[in-house]
Structure 1
Amino acid sequence: MSTFPVCDDVLSESDEVLPLPDVAESLHVPVTRVHQMLRDRQLLAVKRDGVVGIPRLFLTEDAHHRGEIRVLKQMPGLIAVLRDGGFTDDESLRWMYQEDPTLPGRPVDALHGHLAREVLRRAQALGF
């Protein structure tokens, strides 16, 4: 079985990280599918206290199905844009979780609101 990439845990202790089996259960997919999503760079994982997990903010409640969880719609695209701009996975994670007073807040938080397009635009501009 091939491995999947894992980033340094640059997140604050207050940022929730969900173990991969919990993510798989929430998404109603096998854990091997979550591994594939990591290999395909649709998600990023960190290792916290010896356990590999996905930042909770990479997931969201499905607006059409109450209680259902899905990957945040913009996440795979944002990861791809940052990667195309020359960012490593660790650098991408740092950028997403770094405070930006002009947003205001962190890009990862802004992805959950009306500033999601602005986050993607800024990520694209970083590569140039």
Structure 2
Amino acid sequence: MSETETAAQAAEWLTLPELVEILGETLGRVRRLFDEQYLIGSRRNGPLAVPAVFLKDDQPLGSLRGTIIVLKDAGFSDDEAIDWLLAEEESMGRAPIAALREGHKSEVRRIARALA
């Protein structure tokens, strides 16, 4: 098992019903968050789920959307983008999601653009 897969498996995951409850939104609105790339999820463990670290203060992390778009433009699938966000990035010395949560979106997006 790779380090990336290990990081993804270690993450706490939230299913759609849990997101509906946490976000206080309808299922339709939560699905729109995926459509509009405010969130990305994976079905690798069964039902669609999102790493809990993608939320902050019970809302999608604000800097996540632009980073998701950059990764998608670089050709990443949802699973690949999630794995990259959760695994430690050598050049940053931490996981990209940790850097985003600390407000370092420019650094994360610069590295993500270089992956294209």
TM-score bracket, shorter-length normalisation: 0.7 to 0.9
**Runs of 5+ consecutive residues of structure 1 not aligned to the other structure:** 1-8, 62-68
Q: Could you state the TM-score of these two structures normalised by the residue count of structure 1?
A: 0.75
User: How many angstroms apart in 2 are the aligned matches of 1:49 and 1:76?
Assistant: 23
- Structure with the higher helix share, 1 or 2: 2
Q: Root-mean-square deviation (CA), in Å?
A: 2.0
Counterparts of 1:1-128 in structure 2 under 5 Å?
Answer: 11-47=7-43, 49-61=45-57, 69-127=58-116
What's the offset of the Cα at 1:10?
A: 7.2
Identity %: 32
Name the CA shift for 1:85/1:48 in 2 (closer, same or farther; >3 Å): closer
User: How many angstroms apart in 2 are the aligned matches of 1:101 and 1:85?
Assistant: 19
Which has the higher Rg, Structure 1 or Structure 2?
1
Q: Which structure is higher in RCO with an 8 Å CA cutoff and minimum separation 6?
A: 2
Letter in 1 for 2:69: A
**Runs of 5+ consecutive residues of structure 2 not aligned to the other structure:** none
- Structure with the higher strand share, 1 or 2: 1
User: Do the aligned partners of 1:10 and 1:93 also contact (CA within 8 Å) in 2?
Assistant: no
